[in-house]
Chain A
Amino acid sequence: MLLPCRLLSSVAPQRLWVGLGSRVTGSVNSLTSFRAINTSPKDASTPAVQHAEEENTSTEAAKLKKPKRAPFIKNLFLGRFDKSVLEFPEVLDQDQHELLHEMVVPIERYFLEQVDGPKIDRDAKIPEETLQGLKELGLFGQQIPQEYGGLGLGATEYARIAEITSLDGSIAVTLAAHQAIGLKGILICGTDAQKEKYLPQLACGDWTAAFCLTEPSSGSDAASIQTRATLSDDGKTWLINGSKIWISNGGFADLMTVFAKTTKILPSGEKKDKVTAFIVERSFGGVSSGPPEDKLGIRGSNTCEVFFDNTPVPAENVLGEVGGGFKVAMNILNSGRFSMGSSGAGMLKRLLSWSIDHAVNRKQFGNYLSEFAMIKEKFGRMSANIYAMESMAYLTAGILDGQEDPDCSVEAAIVKVFSSEGAWKWCSECLQVLGGLGYMKSYPFERYLRDARILLIFEGTNEILRLFIGLSGLQTAGGELREVVQKLRNPLMNPGFIIGKGIERFRQQKDNPKLDLDIAGHLHPTLQPSAQLLEYCVKRFQYSVEMVLAKHGQAVAAPKNQLDVARLADCAIDLYAMTAVLSRASRAYCIGLKNAAHEIQLASVFSAEAAERIKTRVRDLEIGPVQNHDDLYSRIADAVVENKGYVAEHPLTRTFW
């Protein structure tokens, strides 16, 4: 699919989404009930993969992973700050580090010398020989274990390579559709037989994979797909019927991970429809593809409709369990997202140097553009944002690689939201520096801008992901805070509790929370002011979570309360970004990296501004929908929707002469 636009990733959600969407709401009873669905460690997307990979990566010494820890962001919703995150992860040993840097060289050269981005964009096709070269380089089997002919890379290495492959959007998406989602299912939950049969040919690129989930009537709401699989009477073959849209690589993929509804007969004799994942070879028959879609960006990536007409699939090609397909889909999507941070940063770093190149050569009014404060500000802000993207991406990859059973689904979603929006915004600002020139096709900026636009849409739209971030956190917090919230709502019955809580609250209401986390103690002293800010924000965030829960209770997932959830999500995004930049800058300073002082500046300015944003959002939550204008906007929108368009009269309209 245009990658799975749809899904939200997560572990959580069937019921959750039901609550969010306008469909039924019966099952959304309490926050605790969400909790039950959530966090079984097995669900947590990548772990299984990571393991397999680690075991394979070069070095003989078995790598010691840190023990499992509570997921960082979900924990943050409870006001608990895991300070181990302030130690920026070092997951690659010397051998892996050297190997990675050796790998980077030929890939960079290949992209520089052999990839003609403008031509790919113009022809809306990646030339066969370019693809062949990518396959020979080994880029089609990055995360496939070495025993199956892949490179067996971990998340960190994968992220580093994504920085380079993102230099062409079409290629990046083709590669991602193949291995980040297309074949990921086999890696995560394939049987040994399935792995042996399929992975070797996928690793070398002889076969290309695609991920078929999205349907015309089923976008973000993945559980509502219509494609159906029925089992033959002898129980040996499934017949798949239906159609899928926006399938990346759909025109030529030899192997597809297809999601279809299957009927399950419950012990009670009742029939129930569940999603099941299948490994479908194109050669099974009954598979056809529509013409490639004509798109705004990533034009060279093949996106088309795929039809299944009585496609026979042997029973052993069920991926995971029959009826367990929804979880498979979520795990696949969750596991791929984190790399968008490094790919966005990789692309922006290149664009930044191109626009600087223009700014130092172009003179207007007797000054070089690079001397104008407004241009300089762009470069400064952009650098700080790239720094945040990189830091978050590699922090997340580091946790994925270095911890037992990591659950980074929320962190990965945060990285995706932050970096997709950053890529779009800063790409646009780079173009702005060149003015009219940037708008021309003879410069690469407009192409990158068009390519970047999809990032905000696919792999879960940013709106859906914000809900996912906010609600996953609230779900975690809700369980533990339920009691607190109940007591807060009934002060007369719990006087002792209320007095204790009251003091804390009093300080919070005066915007003066008690700072007792000692975050500064875990960072280089140079960063002390930023550390204080982070600590302040963590406390304010905890206060906001309690506030939102107390205000909305179980109804927090209702569509009308989305803005408050989104505010929490945005706070979580900024908090994660602050944590990541401070952790990285502190490390850079302590180990004496070149330009560490510059990194301190980037981290300080980013934290200061992120703290301001958090402050504003907490204030908006405090003052409520009337004063923060949510109500007014909602009413305006209602009127516009009612009128099916803009409501105000034309400015030339007169009621008198």
Chain B
Amino acid sequence: MKLKPEVRQDRPSTRRVQGIRGRVQLFSIKSSPFTITMSLRVLVGVKRVIDYAVKIRVRPDKLGVVTDGVKHSMNPFDEIAIEEAVRLKEKKIAKEVVAISCGPTQAQETIRTALAMGADRGIHVEIPAKEVEKLEPLHVAKIMAKLVEQEKADLVVLGKQAIDDDSNATAQMTAALLDWPQATFASKIEKTDGELQVTREVDGGLEIIKVKLPAVVSADLRLNEPRYATLPNIMKAKKKKIAKMKAADLGVDTSPHFEVLDVADPPVREAGIKVEDVDTLVTKLKDAGRI
């Protein structure tokens, strides 16, 4: 995929601000004007979701699920995304990892977890509690795209989907909005010169693709095994900065595109019956139209 030249042109000047090392490398690698240095800035999305172990209950008004007093934690796929970004940093491929969360005040806890896992700083795009469940992947993608611009990021790593709404759309939309290449459902990421080689799990095997940087990657389950945030690192993370802003500050309109009409529990499995013999079983199945 071709990059838009205007996106790239302002890079050298920003690099200068960010440190000699980035700049030198940028100019020293002449092979391609778009070659990214060994110091990427990585944005990672971390969503606060109801913990995977919690038994979900539908709210009495049937327009959502109960979230009050329910344990929340970081979306597991986002943990994998953060882990991967931190590993890139440990391999000196990334220079800075920024964790971003769009959500209510408590989303800061999620960002803190990301910081404790090794992210350098956080951005909290505060969404009023009432609007959180109406926030759509497109809104988040627009926010991400804006932040990429603001932060001059080179790589966006997102979980492939959040375990609450299972949309599996934000990464793709973000890439589209930025007009960047996308490598979705990554189970392995390797850096080659100015490119990422990404392994994806597809039906019946593995697909290996190359994407040019900058790019959007979405993390699949087997990409890595996220680390535990250690207590000393949690304490250190307290000193890391979290910038706070609103969607409107980024010029993103978060008014919903669709309306929830009804939320219902999955149907309860009906009790089975016992049959006398195989013939009765076959008859019953035929009657039920199953065979």
Contact = CB atoms under 8 A, between A and B. Distances in A.
Given A146-B235, A151-B235, A102 B228 contact: no
Interface in B193-242: 228-232, 234-235, 238
A110 B228 CA distance: 7
Contact of B230 (A58, A101, A136): A136
Contacts of A102: 109, 112-113, 116, 229, 234
B228 A137 contact: yes
Contacts of B19: none
A99 B69 contact: no
A150 to B, nearest CB: 8
B254 interface: no
Nearest to A110: B228
A122 interface: no
B52 to A, nearest CB: 11
Contacts of A58: 235, 238
Contacts of A133: 228
A329 to B, nearest CB: 29
Nearest to A161: B231
Contacts of A106: 116, 228-231, 234
Interface in A103-131: 103, 105-107, 109-110
B25 interface: no
Contacts of B229: 102, 105-106
Nearest to A141: B232
A314 interface: no
A594 interface: yes
A585 to B, nearest CB: 19
Contacts of B231: 103, 106-107, 137-139, 142, 151
Interface string A57-84: 0100000000000000000000000000
A95 B234 CA distance: 12
Contacts of A151: 231-232, 235
B244 to A, nearest CB: 15
Interface in A340-395: none
Interface string B67-105: 001000100000000000000000000000000000000
Contact of B69 (A95, A137, A149, A594): A594
A594 B232 CA distance: 32
Contact of A138 (B69, B109, B112, B232): B232
A99 B234 contact: yes
A137 B69 CA distance: 27
B235 A99 contact: yes
A142 B232 CA distance: 10
A146 B239 CA distance: 14
A139 B234 CA distance: 13
A105 B235 contact: no
Contacts of A101: 109
A203 to B, nearest CB: 9
Contacts of B232: 138, 149, 151
A146 B238 CA distance: 14
Nearest to B68: A594
- Among B73, B112, B116, B235, max chain A CB count under 10 A is at B235
Interface in B249-264: none
Contacts of A137: 228, 230-231
A105 B230 contact: no
A66 B140 CA distance: 48
A98 B230 CA distance: 15
A628 to B, nearest CB: 49
Nearest to A138: B231
A95 B228 contact: no
Contacts of A98: 109, 112
A99 B113 CA distance: 11
- Among A101, A110, A137, A149, max chain B CB count under 10 A is at A137
A99 B116 CA distance: 11
A103 B231 CA distance: 6
Nearest to A146: B235
Given A105-B73, A105-B113, A594-B69, A99 B228 contact: no
- Among A95, A102, A133, A142, max chain B CB count under 10 A is at A102
B35 to A, nearest CB: 37
Given A109-B228, A137-B228, A594-B69, A103 B234 contact: yes
A98 B235 CA distance: 11
A485 to B, nearest CB: 52
A55 to B, nearest CB: 15
A142 B230 CA distance: 12
A297 B231 CA distance: 29
Contact of B238 (A99, A107, A110): A99
Nearest to A57: B235
Interface string A395-414: 00000000000000000000
Nearest to B69: A594
A107 B229 CA distance: 9
A146 B113 CA distance: 20
Nearest to B74: A105
A165 to B, nearest CB: 12
Nearest to A150: B232
Contacts of A136: 228, 230
Nearest to B109: A102
A138 B113 contact: no
B147 to A, nearest CB: 24
B72 to A, nearest CB: 10
Contacts of B238: 58, 95, 99
Interface string B104-115: 000001001100
Contacts of A149: 232
Contacts of B228: 106, 109-110, 133, 136-137
A71 B112 CA distance: 39
A253 B228 CA distance: 26
A106 B116 CA distance: 10
B111 to A, nearest CB: 11
A102 B115 CA distance: 11
A99 B231 CA distance: 9
Interface string A308-332: 0000000000000000000000000
Nearest to B232: A138
Nearest to B116: A102
Contacts of A110: 228
- Among B113, B231, B232, B235, max chain A CB count under 10 A is at B231
Contacts of B116: 102, 106
A151 B231 CA distance: 7
Contacts of B109: 98, 101-102
Nearest to A112: B53
A541 B231 CA distance: 45
Contacts of B230: 106, 136-138
Interface in B235-287: 235, 238
A549 to B, nearest CB: 48
A137 B116 CA distance: 11
A59 to B, nearest CB: 10
A95 to B, nearest CB: 7
A58 B239 CA distance: 10
B46 to A, nearest CB: 14
A133 to B, nearest CB: 7
A567 to B, nearest CB: 43
Contacts of A139: 231
A150 B112 CA distance: 20
Nearest to A142: B231
A107 B69 CA distance: 20
Given A102-B113, A138-B230, A146-B235, 8 more contacts: A102-B109, A102-B112, A102-B116, A102-B234, A105-B73, A105-B113, A133-B228, A137-B231
24 contacts: A58-B238, A98-B109, A98-B112, A101-B109, A102-B112, A102-B113, A102-B116, A102-B229, A102-B234, A103-B231, A105-B113, A106-B116, A106-B228, A106-B230, A106-B234, A107-B231, A109-B228, A136-B228, A137-B230, A137-B231, A138-B231, A139-B231, A146-B235, A151-B231
> Nearest 9 A-B pairs (CB), nearest first?
A138-B231, A106-B228, A106-B229, A138-B232, A137-B230, A103-B231, A102-B234, A138-B230, A151-B231
